[in-house]
Amino acid sequence: GENVEQHPSTLSVQEGDSAVIKCTYSDSASNYFPWYKQELGKRPQLIIDIRSNVGEKKDQRIAVTLNKTAKHFSLHITETQPEDSAVYFCAASEDNFNKFYFGSGTKLNVKP
């Protein structure tokens, strides 16, 4: 089955700096890659996603890049703000099966 690895496990940045979280996957059949943000005690919420026919997607301060050949994808947050502090999870799935394989999470701390 699919194996998703996520790094780093914790990331601390100063407000205004950029943050990058990286994930790798093992199954070349995976073609959908969502990123979820989970605040303490809250439900995971989708912040951005990318499909395998696209190399990059951007939404305001958030961007995701995908390298299918290397089987890795990354989340980029620019101009970080304290409210970006949360745990971020990457995931991978195949369209036909839909279940998500999640990474182990990155705890992002943005210091004011």
Interacting residue ranges for another protein, rule: CB under 8 A: 4, 6, 32, 34, 36, 42-46, 49, 89, 91, 93, 95, 97-105
Smallest distance from another protein to CB 10, Å: 11
Which residue, 14 or 96, is less far from another protein as judged by CB? 96
User: For every residue of the chain, which 3-state class applies, written as one string?
Assistant: CCCEEEECCEEEEECCCCEEEEEEECCCCCCEEEEEEECCCCCCEEEEEEECCCCEEEECCEEEEEECCCCEEEEEECCCCHHHCEEEEEEEECCCCCCCEECCCEEEEEEC
| Distance separating alpha carbons of residues 69 and 83, to the nearest angstrom | 34
Smallest distance from another protein to CB 105, Å: 5
Which residue, 78 or 102, is less far from another protein as judged by CB? 102
Which residue, 27 or 49, is less far from another protein as judged by CB? 49
Which residue, 54 or 81, is less far from another protein as judged by CB? 54
Smallest distance from another protein to CB 66, Å: 15
Q: Are strands 106-111 and 10-14 parallel, antiparallel or unpaired?
A: parallel
Smallest distance from another protein to CB 108, Å: 14
